[in-house]
Amino acid sequence: MRVHIGTDHAGFELKNRLAAALQDKGHEVTDHGAHTYDAVDDYPPFCTDVGEAVVADPSSLGIVLGGSGNGEQIAANKVAGVRAALVWNEDTARLARQHNDANVISVGARQHSEDELESLIDLFLAEPFSGEERHQRRIDLVARYEGTGGYGDTAAPATP
């Protein structure tokens, strides 16, 4: 599988080790940076680069790393067509793919051991989308809102 990966300084060394481990497992990895350590670099460009690459190649998946993964998820999700999921345990890794067809995983380099992160990423990459109609319907609603700023006549969010 083609995998796009990116991080700022918070996950720099880890990214390099994860990329090598993924390549050893047979994945084709594209590194979107950072390519040098800079303690004051900013994560958004690395994350949006990953997102743009994943959208351009729908058969690929992406990984964004940061200290917590929160900002990285937010940045990646600014790219139209990205469904980035913040993953912190095995269930969220599997469900991100099964139910949401997430195409980018966001993880916190400072929140887990390297072995835990590698395991979460492996689970995410291996898990297929369930294809269930209810999940696809929800993904389609999100995409419709993303593209038009509304849901159209087919669905409306519940109001209190």
Q: Which of 104, 119, 111 is nearest to 58 (CA)?
A: 104
Same domain, 106 and 116: yes
Band the pLDDT of 40: cuts 50, 70, 90.
very high
pTM of the model: 0.93
- Rounded Cα distance between 67 and 106, Å, is 10
* Per-residue model confidence as pLDDT tens digits over 102-128: 999 999 999 999 999 999 999 999 999
Same domain, 98 and 32: yes
Q: Report CA 58 to chain centroid distance, whole Å.
A: 13
Catalytic residue list contains 32: no
Same domain, 30 and 68: yes
Same domain, 98 and 151: no
Same domain, 103 and 136: no
Residue 152 is encoded by which pair of tokens?
Answer: 């159209």
Q: How many residues does the chain have?
A: 160
Catalytic one among 4, 9, 52, 72? 72
Can you give the pLDDT at residue 16? 95
* Per-residue model confidence as pLDDT tens digits over 83-107: 999 999 999 999 999 999 999 999 9
Residue 90 is encoded by which pair of tokens?
Answer: 């095995």
* Per-residue model confidence as pLDDT tens digits over 133-156: 999 999 999 999 999 999 987 655
Same domain, 118 and 93: yes
Residue 93 vs residues 22, 32, 130, 157: alpha-carbon distances, Å:
17, 22, 14, 26
Same domain, 35 and 99: yes
Catalytic residue list contains 9: no
Same domain, 7 and 37: yes
Catalytic one among 99, 116, 127, 135? 99
Query: How many C-beta atoms lie closer than 10 Å to residue 6's C-beta?
Result: 29
* Per-residue model confidence as pLDDT tens digits over 70-81: 999 999 999 999
What's the number of domains the chain is made of? 2
Angle CA(48)–CA(60)–CA(45) in degrees, nearest 5? 10
Same domain, 18 and 90: yes
Same domain, 77 and 148: no
